[in-house]
Chain A
Amino acid sequence: MTKKKIKIASRFIPLVFFLLLFMAGISTNEPQRVMEQAWNICLDCIGIG
């Protein structure tokens, strides 16, 4: 394998890592938590309250 091909293949490493992280988040039901947070108006966040 040439140096260039190794360099290109190495670009998939972060992608695989974050894909695993994403799946780990789904397995802990984090999307539900994120959605519940996003359903509420965060008054602190928008500078009110």
Chain B
Amino acid sequence: METVRKFIQLVFTLLSNGYLLFPWTKNIYQGPLKALCSPGLNCYSCPASTTYCPIGAIQQLLLGIRFSLETGNYYFGSYVFGTLGIIASFTGRLTCGWLCPFGFLQEILYKIPSGKKFTTPQPLRYIKYFMLIFFVILFPLLLTDQWGMGKPWFCKFVCPAGTIEAGIPMILLQPDLRATLGYLFYNKLFWMFCFLIWSIFTSRPFCKTTCPLGAFYGMFNRMSLLQLHLNKQHCTDCGVCLQVCPMDIQFNKNVNNAECILCMRCMTEACKFDAISLQCAGLPLSLPPKKIKVQKTEPC
């Protein structure tokens, strides 16, 4: 199952970044697919990107909402929020575990041998909700300049995916842009290196602490159609599910927790007692046989 998941992650990363003509055009893809939502975090200013990033699109729509209304257009982000809501209502945070290119990159980095592996302190996990509410929605909407335009706060000051997928490639493709580099770019470069290095020692640190998209999807984990189900009669509270979980969740104590990315490792690799199963709208879905594999982590 883990091999299948890795394959799907790779395919989605390639599909989301499938415009391979950019080294010749020196520009980003400008075709009709850009009206489609990338389910994971994937910067649309990336030269290879074929779809739009929902977090970037929400900020752009909200920061220009006054201008839109003045020109008689009602762009409130309903198309983008609607798309995200449909994905989340179906699958909860499954997208993070299966389709997100930046999540995939963090998983690859975590495989680098580094001696000790660490868990993430619980309070840091609330930062992503702050990012979603303030940096993605309220700040772009409310903090405006003299022309009534806001800023894309999350993209501008935080997003490491934007730096690695778009910032650095665009500087390499368009040398003229190098003259404009300043504090803003170095700040983003700093955050990008922080998250990349952190990913070597901790599983998915950006997803756990900062990702506003994960925060949004996670809120639907308890009400999505696709869910993991715990059979309490079979559960022995052995805690093996915690040892394989990339998000550090003990499934039987936090069933469909907002942090769960539905990677299903607890079900396919850890639980020997058939206590965890996958359900869609209450109906059980069958999966391949288990392969037991346990990896230990130590707390900070």
Contact = CB atoms under 8 A, between A and B. Distances in A.
Nearest to A21: B82
A48 interface: yes
Contact of B52 (A8, A12, A23, A35): A35
A49 B188 CA distance: 13
Interface of A is mostly: helix
Given A30-B61, A48-B167, 11 more contacts: A14-B89, A17-B85, A22-B86, A25-B81, A28-B75, A35-B35, A38-B35, A41-B45, A42-B60, A47-B184, A48-B185
B281 A8 contact: yes
A8 B214 CA distance: 23
B210 to A, nearest CB: 16
Interface stretch (B111-119, B150-158, B260-268, B291-299): B150-158
Contacts, number: 157
Interface in B135-163: 151-152, 155-156, 159, 162-163
A12 to B, nearest CB: 8
B21 interface: no
Given A25-B79, A41-B28, A47-B184, A14 B85 contact: yes
A46 B220 contact: no
Interface string A16-46: 0111111111101111111101110111111
Nearest to B58: A34
Most chain B Cβ neighbours within 10 Å, of A4, A39, A46, A49: A46
Nearest to A24: B78
Contact of A38 (B57, B88, B181, B185): B57
Interface string B1-32: 00000000000000000000000000110101
Nearest to B44: A38
A34 B75 CA distance: 9
Query: Would you list the 3 A-B pairs with minimal beta carbon distance, nearest first?
Result: A25-B79, A18-B85, A22-B82
